[in-house]
Amino acid sequence: MNATVPVDGEHDGGCLCGYVRYVITERPIDAGFCHCRVCQRSSGAPSIAWLTVDVAGFAYTHGDVAVYRSSERSQREFCPRCGTQIAFRAIADAKTVDVTICSLDDSSRVRPEYHIWCESKADWLRIGDELPQYPDDGPDVT
């Protein structure tokens, strides 16, 4: 799945207010839009575009994120000052971390490859790209 997504090199990113900053130092494994209800509720938006990277390739460089356990097994990390959602990972033994693509300083460098959880897609949202759409978690590696 990684033919089109990742661009080599370091990626910097952060939240809206600038308190939380992070760096991605490994090539992302994959990337896609998630239309699940948890992403919708937690962002207030119809979907979130995520990239997935090995945990070793992601590090916060400034600020202390707030953590919300959004399910029994996973947590979401966000800026405690401005609320920007930054990351998603397993609570225990996370091998990968998902990072919100639009919190990158240059979101054009990682391109989504698919849409997942389309069974809960907002019914007024018209997907205009040619990417594959999956009703469930599809090829997501997390």
By CB under 5 A, residue 39 contacts Zn ion:
yes
Which is nearer to Zn ion, 26 or 138 (by Cβ)?
Answer: 138
What is the smallest separation between the CB atom of 28 and Zn ion, expressed in angstroms? Answer: 17
CA-CA distances (angstroms) from residue 85 to 113, 126, 135? 21, 24, 24
Examine residue 82 and tell whether it contacts Zn ion (CB under 5 A).
Answer: yes
Q: Which helix (H) or strand (E) holds 59?
A: strand 58-62
For residues 96-115, which are near Zn ion according to CB under 5 A?
Answer: none
Nearest-Å Rg of the Cα atoms of the chain is 14
Identify the residue among 29, 31, 36, 101 touching Zn ion (CB under 5 A). Answer: 36
As beta bridge partners, residue 54 has 96
Nearer to Zn ion, 79 or 101 (CB): 79
CB of 17 to Zn ion, least distance (A): 3
Query: Which residues are near Zn ion by CB under 5 A?
Result: 15, 17, 19, 34, 36, 39, 79, 81-82
